[in-house]
Structure 1
Amino acid sequence: MRRKWRPGLAFVLGGAMCGTLLLSLTGLVAFRFLGPEIGYRNSAVLLAVIITAATAVLGWLLIRLLLRPIFALERFATQVVRNPADPLSPPSRFGTRELGITAQRVIDMAETLRNRETTIRSFSDHVTHELKTPVATLRAATELLKDDDALSAQTLRLVDQIASAGIQMEQQIEAMRQVARARESRHEGSTSLNEVLDALCRDYPNLEIRVDGGDVDIPMASKGLLVVLRQMLGNAREHDAQVVHLSAISDETQVALQVRDDGHGISAGNATRVFDPFFTTKRDQGGTGMGLAIVRNTLRAHGADITLMPVRDAAIFSIRFEVG
């Protein structure tokens, strides 16, 4: 297939500047010679029409070679961000050679990231599906063993341990499914802390929830923000917190959301691992270690990130949304 020629960016910009300068100089020279022949007013009108038409042609070329490809690439990037699972529809026109190279790199990157997300999702679906049957079999077997009156007390304790391990596996499978879902779920829209406060108070009646900056606009729909805050308030309750303080502030570049509780806090040794999947200090109590991993994946799907602040005798998480 014959490759289509694309002008270089320097050629387009240099040609536009030279063309503009040439039009001005040509207009002055033509006006000097045409003025005495057809009159200065008529020559001025004629040259104005010609220069306007030539400038419009130059403008059309700049729009076609620069603006249209940039806008098309912007629409493509927006499509990838908002609907990562949809088939890719890359732009068909790239304008200059440099824009074409840049656009192709962006398209390749989007395809790579999409394939990686598809692989992760397929792997998690496959693993959860394959583990579902043996876990169900294990649960049924332990229930049958418990009904056997001939088993000794020691054997029954072993059966209870096996049953507990089966329940833990089911929880891990569900947590893995939630993490994979959080990587691709987007909650478009915006909300504020005041709008989700009633739901949080109903879900956690034993926690005192204090709010500052409750009317600050947070760039995430209420459903998504509730996913994040419910996970974090659940962690605070597990660490014996009595009060959780939510505060939000914003400026021209970002929205900052802080979640602080008065629980036992997080030790320095665990602070670097709290966002790792499956890391938990409460596995014997049914913890899966997926709560903060789900929070981080959900936030990153919205262009935000979360960090743990280094403090003692408390837990402070800082969430930052980039805006503007």
Structure 2
Amino acid sequence: MPAPKVRTKWRPTLALIVYVVLLAVMALPILIVIWFRAVEVSSNRMAPAEIVALAVVAMLTLAIAYVLTRTITGPIDALIARTEEIARGGKGAIRPLESYGTREIAVLSQSFLDLAGKLVDRTEYVGSFAAHVSHELKSPLTAIRGAAELLRDDDAERPMTKAQRLHFLDNIVADAARLDVLLQRLRELAQAETPVAEGKSSIVDILPALRGQFPALDISGKGDTETSVALPREAADIVFANLAENALQQGATLLELSVSADARTTVILVRDDGGGISEANRQRIFQPFFSTRREQGGTGMGLGIVRAMLSAHGGTIRLLQTAGAGAEFEITIPV
């Protein structure tokens, strides 16, 4: 969910308020001294001037206390109350405060709203992801169990033919292979979201391994392929292997990696000549477990892993519009 934005307007800094308050406090005794020097003290009894001076001091003190409460204590207490409300109410409680007082508290509140929004999104993502994982694992497990039960309950009087037995065994092997692929994707996704390694790599480094892993694809590199980017070799292998596998599943025979770089970022265009991505699916391709090639072994996790891996290293990926056949992705990553 997009985080609510703090309304932009001029607010005094906390330092300004502190300095003004200190100057006001320092000015009080000076004003009192000047006042009494201007007035003759004729008796030991408290003169009306003294009463007025004390009243003025009391009023100024109360005013200073009100300013501090209004600009500092009040917004902080409101922010504390809002955190407790969010803890109880979730997404509905994520909204701006009524007043912020100082610029620093406004910035703090915006950072808190951003963090709260990300935590809520993360919680919803974990819940949705767990449901998808449960469904994806349950389907092949159910098929394996069903085939195994049929094989176990084979009737001696009416036994299965060899072809039927091989059919069920092939189904078990295929579903076991699908489970293995799902678990491999889950490991890659976990690695993408909790990166620990740092390092650099370049397209020229990963091309040989990529060609060996996907011999059916004619993979080429263009441009600044020797430019190093802030992506460890293992992470780069995972990113481009998933993109190559996605292209292969779409019927591609060519895969081109075109690299351009400046002083701060590198842009890598990944093009293929496969079936492309339909307009209806363009907004869904990065959703977990979305696949149009499930029957051919697609898990729907590849592009999600690519995005998570790049995001963990400060990069981004987006799908570009293409005039002809195939798909084209733009990867931007720091050098």
In the TM superposition, residue 308 of structure 1 has moved relative to its aligned partner by 2.0
CA distance in 2, matches of 1:210, 1:317: 15
Instruction: Report how far residue 318 of structure 1 moved.
Output: 1.0
Structure 2 CA distance for aligned equivalents of residues 245 and 134 of structure 1? 35
1:198 alignment partner AA: P
What residue number does 2:307 align with? 296
Q: Alpha-carbon deviation of 1:234?
A: 1.1
Which residue in 2 is equivalent to 1:103? 108
Q: Give the equivalent residue in structure 2 for 1:191.
A: 201
- Write the distance in 2 (CA, Å) between the matches of 1:263 and 1:200: 18
158-167 or 273-282, which moves further after superposition? Answer: 158-167
Q: Tell me, what secondary structure is at the counterpart of 1:195?
A: helix
- Secondary structure (helix, strand or coil) at the match of 1:273 reads coil
After superposition, residues 132-143 of structure 1 pair within 5 angstroms as 136=141, 139-143=144-148
* Structure 1 residues 97 and 322: CA distance shift in structure 2, 3 A: farther
Taking a change above 3 Å as real, the CA distance of residues 196 and 180 of structure 1, as seen in their structure-2 partners, is: closer
Indicate if the aligned counterparts of 2:256 and 2:272 stay in contact, CA closer than 8 A: yes
1:226 partner SS: helix
How many Å apart are 1:156 and its aligned residue? 7.2
1:271 to 246, 269, 282: 282
Find the counterpart in structure 2 of residue 32 from structure 1: none
Q: 1:183 to 1:13 in 2, by over 3 A?
A: farther
Shift of 1:297: 2.2
State the Cα deviation string for residues 29-65 of structure 1 (Å, max 9, x = none): xxxxxxxxxxxxxxxxxxxxxxxxxxxxxxxxxxxxx
The worse-fitting range, judged by mean Cα deviation, of 188-197 and 109-118 is 109-118
Alignment pair present for 1:211 and 2:221: yes
Distance in 2 of aligned mates of 1:211 and 1:142: 46
Pick the structure with greater CA Rg.
2
Q: Is the 8 A contact 1:175 1:288 kept in 2?
A: no
1:313 counterpart SS class = coil
| In the alignment, structure 1 residue 117 sits paired with structure 2 residue 139 | no
One-letter identity of the residue aligned with 1:177 = L
Residue 332 of structure 2: aligned partner: 320
Tell me how far 1:232 sits from its aligned partner.
0.7
Contact 2:140 2:179 (C-alpha < 8 Å) held by counterparts? yes
One-letter amino acid of the counterpart of residue 313, structure 2: H
Distance 1:160 1:246 in 2: 41
Shift of 1:296: 1.8
Which residue, out of 245, 255, 265, partners 2:256? 245
Over the matched positions of the two proteins, sequence identity in percent amounts to: 25
The letter of the residue matching 1:9 is T
Corresponding residue for 1:146?
151
C-alpha RMSD over aligned residues:
4.2
Do the aligned partners of 1:227 and 1:295 also contact (CA within 8 Å) in 2?
yes
* Residue equivalent to 2:267: 256
**Contact 1:280 / 1:288 at 8 angstroms: preserved in 2?**
yes
Kindly tell me: are residues 182 and 15 of structure 1, through their superposed partners in 2, closer, same or farther at Cα, counting changes over 3 Å?
A: same
**Partner-residue secondary structure (3-state), 1:248:** strand
Q: How many residues align?
A: 239
Change in Cα spacing, 1:197 to 1:13, as seen in structure 2 (3 Å) is farther
How far off is 1:102 after superposition?
1.9
Cα offset, 1:301, TM superposition: 2.5
Q: What is the TM-score when the length of structure 2 is the normalising length?
A: 0.56
> What's the CA shift for 1:254?
2.8
State the shift of 1:258 in Å: 0.8
- CA displacement 1:253-273 (0-9 Å, x = unmatched): 532111112333333443343
Cα distance, 1:97 vs structure 2: 4.5
For the Cα contact (< 8 Å) 2:14–2:103, is it kept in 1?
A: no
Cα separation, 1, equivalents of 2:137 and 2:171: 16
In structure 2, relative to structure 1, the CA distance for the partners of 1:183 and 1:214 (3 Å cut) is closer
Q: State the alpha-carbon separation in 1 of the partners of residues 330 and 265 from structure 2.
A: 12
TM-score by structure 1 length? 0.57
How far does residue 228 in structure 1 lie from its aligned partner after superposition?
0.8
Which whole-Å CA distance do the structure 2 matches of 1:166 and 1:241 have between them? 25
